Structure 1
Amino acid sequence: MTPVHPRVVLAAPSSGSGKTTVASLLCLALRARGLRVQPFKLGPDYLDPTHLTRAAGREARNLDSFLMGRDRLRQLFARAAAQADVSVLEGVMGLFDGRDPTTDEHSTADLAALLGAPVVLVIDAGGMARTAAAVAAGLRDFRPDLHVAGVILNRVGSGRHAALCEAALDQVGLPTLGFVPRDEALHLPARHLGLVSAEQVHWDESRALHAAAGLRLDALLAAAQAPALPLPPAPGGPGARVRVAVAHDEAFHFSYPDALDELRAQGAELTPFSPLRDAGLPPDVRGVLLPGGYPEMHAQALSANRSLHTQLRAFAAGGGAVLAECGGLMYLGEALDVDGTSVEMCGVIPYRTRMGARLTLGYREATAVRNSLLAPAGAAVRGHEFHHSVLTHAPTRPAWRWTAHDGSVTEEGYASGNVLASYLHLHLGADPALAARFLRACRGGAA
C-alpha cells in the first residue's frame, strides 16, 4: 500500500474570507473525531497559527517558500505531517497572490502544487448564491494543474442559502464540502499587526463545534488523501549542550516552532523567561533570544523591570550572545516613544524607537554589512519586516543592507560583538547554518 500524508490547503479569493476561522473549525472538528491534526499556516504570519494551535491541540507550523526555499519547505512539512493523521494548511491572501502579480510564485497555489496538496476553496457566501459558483469555477480554471477538490461555504445565512449555493456549485462540477453559518461570535478581531493572538480571544469550544457541524468531514478526509512526501534525513548529532534563554510572554512571542526545533537539534537547551515578570535571566544561560511581539502594549511594565535591564546589559557587556528581532530590538534600545511619551528600555544598544501609523511590511533579500551572530559580512539572507515602530535616527552600526524595487538602499539593524538586533525576522529553521553560527557564539560567549 502506498503511504499517504492526508493534507488539504484551505484557500480563498482574498484576505478576509474567513480562512482562519474555517481552518480552526476544521481542526477542532477533526480533533473531536479523535484524529491527530497537524495545522500549518502559509506565509510568515505569527498570529493566525495561535488560533490553529488552540483548535488542533498541536503546535501550528509556518510554511513559506520565500524564507525556507522549496526543498527545505518540503522537508519540514513532511517531517511534521508524518506525525499526524491529517494536515490542515491555511493559505495566505487570495489563492494566487504572491510576491508578483504576474506569477504565482510564493502564493498559496504555488505551495499547494509544491506539496501535491488538494485545495479546498473557502468562499464567503454572504450576499451571493449563484455567484459563489462563478467565483469558485474561476479560481479552479485559472490554473488547471491544481487539484481543487471542492468548496466550503462560509458565512451562510441559513440552510436554504447553503442549498442555493450548492445547487450552483453542482452545475460547475465542484462539490460542496460543508458550510459555516454566519455568526459574529466566530469573528476574529484584528489589531494593528493583524489578527489578535488566540490567548486574547475567548474561545467557546461548544459553540465552535456547533458551527463546525456543517463541515462534511468524511468528504473532506476523502479529498485530503495524497501520497506521502519523502522524509528528510535525520539531523546530525547535536553539538555541546548550551542553555539559551528565550523571551516568551504577552510582550514577546513571535517565534517559529521549526526554528526552535532546529536550535534544539543542534544542542540548545531553550529556557523560557518573561521580561515582564522575571527579575533576572535564568541561571547558566549562554545566549538570549528576544523575539518580536507587542512591547509597545506593555511598555510601562517592561520599563519598570529595571533589574532585568541591568542583567541584560551586564550579560551583553560580558560577551553573552544576544539576538533580538523587531520587538526585541525595541526592548534592547534606550527608549521607546509611545503616543508621545518616552519610556525607558534596556539600554543594551544605542538606539531609540517610536511608534508610527505606517506599517512596514514585506519580504527582504538582505546582505550582511558586517560580521554578526548570524552571518559573516557579505552573506545573503532572506527575511521579512512587519512593524509599526521606527528608529528615531539612522542606524549607527547597521547589520543588514538591501535594495528596494525603486533602487533605494536601506541599511538596518545593529550588529556589534555578540549582540545582533534587527527589524528583520529571519527563520533559523530555514537555514541550519544560521542556527549553527548563533550557537557557536553562545558556546564561546561569557556566562
Structure 2
Amino acid sequence: MKYTTPPRIPGLVVAGTGSNAGKTLTTLALLCALRARGLRVHAAKSGPDFIDAAFHAALTGAPAANLDVWMCRETRSEQGQRPLRRIPQGLARVFARMLRADADGRSADLLLVEGAMGLYDGGAGGAGCTAQLAALLGLPVLLALNAHGLGQSVAALAEGFLRHRPAWAAHTGQPAFAGMICTHVGGEKHKEILRQALAPLTAQTGVPLLGLLPREGAPQLKSRHLGLVEARESLPGLNRKALTAWLEAHCDVTALLRALGAPLGGLSTQEPVAETPAARFFAPRVRSGKAARRPRLGVAWDAAFSFCYADLPALLRELGAEVHFFSPLKDAAPPSACNGLYFPGGYPELHAPALAANTHMRAALRALAERNLPIYGECGGYIYLMRALRLHGRDYPMSGLLPLTCLLGGQRAALGYRAARALPGWPAARAPALSGPSRPLRTRGHEFHYGHLEEATLPSGCASLWQLSDSQGAPLGPEGCRRGTVAGSWLHLYPEGARRFWRAWLACL
C-alpha cells in the first residue's frame, strides 16, 4: 500500500507567525493543561528539532514523532521532486506510529503537533512548511500571533495568514484554522485593543480569538546554542501546575476542545513517566512468520547522546535488527555480541570530562574497531568517534576511532536540510544492489552544529561518506569521514528519508 489514510482522532497544529511567536511555550502549556484534565495526548514536532520533541515525550508519557514533509521522501536527484499532491508514504508511516494505541491498548484522545518557524516558512516556495503538513494530515491550525509592539495592525497580520494561498496549496489544499491566540500581550488596555482589532476578522472568517497570553507571568524556558535546554534538565524546575493555570486563565481551552470535537476531560493527578526507551521510542510493528537472522545493534542513548528520532529504533527493528541501548557515559562497554554500533547526536560537549574519564568504554570501542565491527556516528556521535574534542583551548580525549579533532566554538558551522548521495564504497562495497551505479543510494536529513574539524582535509586512509546538496539542489560538496568499518557524519538522517541506507548498512553487520 503506497499511501495510508490516518484514522480520525481529533488533532491540532500549534503554529506561529514566526520564530519566537510563543509556539513552544503554548504547546507545553497545552500539554500540561490537557494532562491535568485527564486526557491522553500524543504529540509531535514539525521538522527536525529533537529537543522540543523530547519535551513533548516527557510531558505526555508517550513517544513524540518528528513529522517532516521534506525529509520523509527519498530524493531521486539533486534537483528535488515534483510537487506533493497527497500524503507521502514515509510521512504516513511516521504518523501511523504516532496514532497507534499505547501498550495498554488505549488510543490518544487528542493529537498535538508543534509547528516550526512561521506557518508558511519552508523550502523553495514554502514547500514542507507547517501549513503544508497540516493540510496533508488534515489537522486544523491554532495560529499564535506575536502581538508584541502591535495594536490594530494585528488584524492585518492575522488576515494575511488566514487568507494566504501559496502555490503548493493548489496541489495539497489549504489548512483549516481552529482559532487564534495572541502572544506577548501587555496589559488590559493592550488586550482590549487586540480584541477590537480582531473582532471583524473573526466575524468574517469564523476563526475565533481563543486566547490573549500575557508577557507578565509567562514561564521562562532556558536556551543554549542548539535550542532549548533539554527536557531532562529543564522539567524538574518547571511548575506544571502553574503553567496549566497560566494557560487556563488566558485561553479558552474548553472552547478549543469543543471546536476540535475532543473530550473535555476532568481532573487528574497524572504525572509524566520516567525517561526510558519505552517512553521515548515507538514500538515496531509486529510481524508474523519465521524470523530470519537478526543482527544485534548497540545504540548509544544517555544524556550525552539523546538526539535520536523516536521512530528510528522501530524502523531498525522492522528492517531486521535487534536494538540494545547502552550508555557511553556510564557503561564499561557496549552490549556483548553486538554486530554493529550506532551513536546518535546529542551534547557530548556538555559531558566531555565524563566521556573522557570513561576509559573502559573508550578501550572497548577501540578493540571492537580493530575487529572491524561496523560503527556509525552522527553529529555528536561523530564527535565521540574522533580523537579529541577541543573546548576552551583544552582537548578532551574521545574514543579515537577516527583521526580527527573537533573544534567547538561560538560560531555556527552549518544549518539546513540536506539531500545526500552515498559516495562509492559507502556504506559498503558488498551492497551493490542498494548502492550500485544503476540506482545511487540517496538519503535526506538535517545538519545543525557548531563543531568543525581542525583538519583542512581528511587524513590519509580516510574517505568521505556523502555528496551533499541543500533543499533546493545546490551542491555543498563531500562530507563525513570513514576509516575501515568506522564512519561518522555531521548529518542527522531522517529515518523515513533514509530507509535504503539503513537497510544497506544493516546488511553489513
Q: 1:146 to 1:407 in 2, by over 3 A?
A: closer
Maintained 8 Å contact 1:413/1:422: yes
- SS for the counterpart of 2:435 is coil
SS at match of 1:351: strand
CA displacement at 1:3 relative to structure 2: 6.1
Letter in structure 2 aligned against 1:49 = A
1:332 to 385, 407, 418: 385
- In the TM superposition, residue 114 of structure 1 has moved relative to its aligned partner by 1.2
Q: Which of 232, 235, 241 lines up with 1:206 in the alignment?
A: 241
For the aligned residue pairs, the C-alpha RMSD in angstroms reads: 2.5
Equivalences for residues 6-405 of structure 1 within 5 A:
6-69=10-73, 70-83=88-101, 84-100=108-124, 103-143=125-165, 145-158=174-187, 161-173=190-202, 174-183=207-216, 186-201=219-234, 202-213=237-248, 214-224=250-260, 236=287, 239-359=292-412, 360-373=414-427, 376=435, 378-393=440-455, 394-395=457-458, 396-403=462-469
Q: Aligned equivalents of 1:110 and 1:379: distance in 2?
A: 27
Equivalent residue for 1:229?
none
Contact 2:297 / 2:339 at 8 angstroms: preserved in 1?
Answer: yes
Q: What are the superposed Cα offsets for residues 210-266 of structure 1, whole Å, 9 maximum, x if unpaired?
A: 11213322322233359xxxxxx9675564333322212221110001111111233
Which of 452, 464, 486 does residue 419 from structure 1 map onto?
Answer: 486
Mean CA deviation greater in 359-368 or 426-435: 426-435
Q: Map Cα deviations across residues 342-374 of structure 1 (whole Å, 9 max, x no partner).
A: 222111112221113332111111211133348
Q: Match of 2:50, SS? A: coil
Unaligned stretches of 5+ residues in structure 1: 227-232, 443-447
Aligned-pair CA distance for 1:325: 0.2
> Taking structure 1 as the reference length, what is the TM-score of the superposition?
0.89
Instruction: Decide which moves more: 395-404 or 380-389.
Output: 395-404
Q: Distance in 1 between matches of 2:98 and 2:420?
A: 29
- 1:432 corresponds to which residue? 499
1:302-338 Cα shifts (integer Å, max 9, x gaps): 1111111111111122132212001111111111111
Q: Distance in 2 between matches of 1:239 and 1:223?
A: 49
Paired residues of 1:118 and 1:223 also in contact (CA < 8 A): no
8 Å contact from structure 2 (residues 16, 119) kept in 1: yes
Point out the structure with the larger strand share. 1
| Cα 1:3–1:272 shift into 2, 3 Å | closer
Q: Is the 8 A contact 2:441 2:500 kept in 1?
A: no
Change (3 A) 1:285 1:194: same
- Residue by residue over 1:10-63, the C-alpha shift from the partner in whole angstroms, topping out at 9 and shown as x without a partner, is 111110111011011111211222221111101111111122222222221101
17 and 268 in structure 1: CA distance in 2 versus 1, 3 angstrom threshold:
same
Task: Give the Å deviation of 1:172.
Answer: 0.4
Q: Deviations over 1:374-411 (max 9, x none)?
A: 87364221121110011112233101112467966421
Q: 8 Å contact 2:445–2:497 — kept in the other structure?
A: no
1:261-301 residue CA offsets vs partner (Å, 9 max, x unmatched)? 11123343322222122221122322211111111122122
**CA distance in 1 between partners of 2:489 and 2:28 (Å):** 32
1:183 offset after TM fit, Å? 4.3
Query: What's the TM-score, normalizing by structure 2?
Result: 0.79
> C-alpha separation between the residues in 1 aligned to 2:145 and 2:293?
51
Query: 11-20 vs 146-155, which deviates more?
Result: 146-155
Whole-Å Cα distance in 1 between the matches of residues 198 and 356 of structure 2?
56
> What letter corresponds to residue 98 of structure 2 in structure 1?
A
What residue identity is the alignment partner of 1:399? L
Contact 2:365 2:399 in 1 (8 A): yes
Q: Is the 8 A contact 2:468 2:478 kept in 1?
A: yes
Size of the aligned set, in residue pairs, is 433
Q: Tell me the amino acid that sits aligned with residue 444 of structure 2.
A: R
Structure 1 stretch displaced more, 87-96 or 259-268: 259-268
User: Which residue is equivalent to 1:230?
Assistant: none
Which runs of 4 or more aligned residues in structure 1 lie more than 4 Å from their structure 2 counterparts after TM superposition?
Answer: 158-161, 233-239, 403-409
The verdict on how the C-alpha distance between 1:96 and 1:253 changes in structure 2, with shifts beyond 3 A counting, is: same
Match in the other structure for 2:277: none
User: Do the aligned partners of 2:154 and 2:198 also contact (CA within 8 Å) in 1?
Assistant: yes
Q: Which moved more, 1:22-31 or 1:400-409?
A: 400-409
